[in-house]
Amino acid sequence: MDAAKCDFTNAVVRVTNGTCRSTYQQCCSDPRGSKFGLMKRIAPLFASLGLLAACGSGTTAPTTTFAPGTMVVTAVQSLKFDAAEYGPVKAGEVTIGYVNEDSVRHTLILAKDKVKVPNFKLVIAQKGSADSAPVTLEKGTYTLICDVPGHTNMKATLTVE
Ligand SMILES: [Cu+2]
């Protein structure tokens, strides 16, 4: 076993660009090497890659069950959101879930400085419906809006830090 191949820094870089997994395995199987030390350093890398892959799927969440970390908004009776203020959430990709506890159709769009956030709209058609989608947000204050005619009362703020 070539000692140089078991250099931590080297192994991490090679695994990162995905071209040298066999070298990584050789390092790990070196009985004299720091097998567990290396695994500890590599594990968080794989964990974060796994998270990214999970975020890429565009599947609709099952009714009222959202992925961990989802910011959930509920439409309640009398044409209202369940809160006047939401957040704060961290800037970046935020998954927003929307649940209908009311008996009519509602939507959810976002606006910042009176400009609508493009390509984002949640729709919950009836009682028990749920919808969710990821959206990329920057720091600031957003307005949550239901754009169904007559629902102008449905406004809330979302703080993004
Ligand atoms: Cu509404």
CATH number at residue 138: 2.60.40.420
Asked, for residue 65, whether it belongs to a domain, the answer is: no
How much distance in Å is there from the Cα of 68 to the middle of ligand 1?
25
Per residue in 83-107, pLDDT (tens digit) is 999 999 999 999 999 999 999 999 9
pLDDT level of residue 138 (50, 70, 90 thresholds): very high
Rounded Cα distance, 93 and 95, in Å? 7
Residue 110 C-alpha to ligand 1 middle, in angstroms? 13
Total tally of structural domains belonging to the chain: 2
CA 34 to centroid of ligand 1, rounded, Å: 59
Range of the domain at 150: 71-160
pTM, two decimal places:
0.61
